[in-house]
Amino acid sequence: LNFSENCTPEILTPYLDGIVSKLLVLLQNGKQMVQEGALTALASVADSSQDHFKKYYDAVMPYLKAILMNATDKSNRMLRAKSMECISLVGMAVGKDKFRDDAKQVMEVLMALQGTPMETDDPITSYMLQAWARLCKCLGQDFLPYMHVVMPPLLQSAQLKPDVTITSAESDDEIESDDDSIETITLGDKRIGIRTSVLEEKATACNMLCCYADELKEGFFPWIDQVAPTLVPLLKFYFHEEVRRAAVAAMPELLRSAKLAVEKGQAPGRDESYVKQLSDFIIPALVEALHKEPETEMCSSMLDSLNECMQLSGCLLDENQVRAISDEIKNVIIASATRKRDRSERTKAEDFDADEGELLKEENEQEEEVFDQVGECLGTLIKTFKASFLPFFDELSVYVTPMLVREGQDS
């Protein structure tokens, strides 16, 4: 269905006439399952062909809107959800000017839907969260009037508590392991069962919050006081990596939004002290989360996010924070060196084989990325604090220099 996913517009364009006309036929005459497939394929084609899809917009959009407005039965829930996905991807492909008039109608339908109670397993909830975010990307600042409708349920989803069942690992009381909606992990002597649908909705919502902050910049300012306390604790949400990833990515976006709003006079009653307050909330939390993060790849993302936050905060960082960041960079370097040493030992084991060699290669590449991000962070600290950072750098150089020497030997 997503056959066009990796196609460039140039590859796809010569075939668009045939593909779109056939998909429209399926959309009008097919059984429900076929219609759902046609919507997925059409969304994928629009996403891949981008601007080239404008030619088909007037033929396609009426059918998509008809499904959105008329597929109201419970049996049609997935069909309606797919129509939202398709409409929002088509809108993003053709751009604001072409989509604007239909966008208003579509958003009226979504707003009405948002106000109706839904069952917990209704796929429309997750699809709607994503559709709103795409509509925001398409409309930019024109989306701001709809934020008061979008944000309350989004925050509610981001604040969902994980549905967790804990039993003893030795216990005979099996968590319903044949239930696809429950993921089981063993931690020490405990077996933990987590309902995945709740985690997926939470992850989607956190990703969407990050999208809105990124897209709306200073326009997102009114929501920061609700979003920051929701996302900052999720930097240490170990039940679901995607939730942590979204929280990590959102940190610099929230700071940027606050900083721009204050600079442009769009933050009534707030001044630079508000940005400092937010920075004091975000940066120590990132440093603490980095200290406890178990995944190497996520450590890279956290360092990247921390670096961006430091660039935005600049001289608002105080000496204690710089000390805490330097200490954590030292910890990251030591932990990275230890992991590399352990991997080097593994290569000497008798049962070491090519498959494990590939795995080690990937893990070492992730380690290089961590070291690159450490370098970026140090560069930002030197640029921001100049001579006053030298005492910290001198302490760190004992740890950095061996890494640089090893890098030279490896390359």
What is the pLDDT at residue 105?
A: 93
- Please name the residues in contact with 89: beta carbons below 8 A apart, sequence gap of 6 or more: 43, 44, 46, 47, 134
* Domain with 40 in it: 1-158
* Out of 54-63, 201-210, 214-223, 394-403, least confident range: 394-403
Domain containing residue 126: CATH number:
1.25.10.10
State the pLDDT confidence band at 187, using cuts at 50, 70 and 90: confident
- Amino acid at residue number 146: Y
Residue 409: pLDDT above 70? Answer: no
What is the pLDDT at residue 345?
A: 84
Cα–Cα distance for residue pair 198/158, rounded to 1 Å:
10
State the pLDDT confidence band at 410, using cuts at 50, 70 and 90: low
DSSP code of residue 180: T
- Amino acid at residue number 124: I
Buried b (16+ CB within 10 A) or exposed e, 347-383: eeeeeeeeeeeeebeebbebbebbbebbbbbbebbee
For 9, 21, 22, 88, 95, the CA distances from 12, given in Å and listed in that order, are 5, 14, 15, 20, 19
State the pLDDT confidence band at 400, using cuts at 50, 70 and 90: confident
pLDDT tens digits for 98-129?
A: 999 999 999 999 999 887 887 777 888 889 98
The verdict on residue 12 lying in a domain is yes
The verdict on residue 106 lying in a domain is yes
Strand partners, 168: 190
The verdict on residue 279 lying in a domain is no
Cα–Cα distance for residue pair 253/250, rounded to 1 Å:
5
What is the pLDDT at residue 176?
A: 53
Query: What is the residue-averaged pLDDT of the chain?
Result: 90
CA 179 to chain centroid? 27
- Please name the residues in contact with 194: beta carbons below 8 A apart, sequence gap of 6 or more: 162, 163, 164, 165, 182, 183, 184, 185, 239
Question: How many domains does the chain contain in total?
Answer: 1
φ/ψ of 168, rounded to 5, equals -75, 140
- The percentage of residues in the chain with a pLDDT greater than 70, rounded to a whole number, is 94
Residue 175: pLDDT above 70? Answer: no
How does DSSP assign 112-140, residue by residue?
Answer: HHHTS---TT-THHHHHHHHHHHHHHHHG
Q: What pTM, to 2 d.p., does this model score?
A: 0.86
State the pLDDT confidence band at 164, using cuts at 50, 70 and 90: confident
Residue 172: pLDDT above 70? Answer: no
The verdict on residue 286 lying in a domain is no
How does DSSP assign 74-95, residue by residue?
Answer: GGGHHHHHHHHHHHHHHHHHH-
The verdict on residue 369 lying in a domain is no
The verdict on residue 393 lying in a domain is no
What is the pLDDT at residue 180?
A: 66
DSSP code of residue 271: -
The verdict on residue 100 lying in a domain is yes
Cα-Cα-Cα-Cα dihedral sign, residues 333, 338, 339, 344: positive
DSSP code of residue 377: H
Cα–Cα distance for residue pair 275/313, rounded to 1 Å:
8
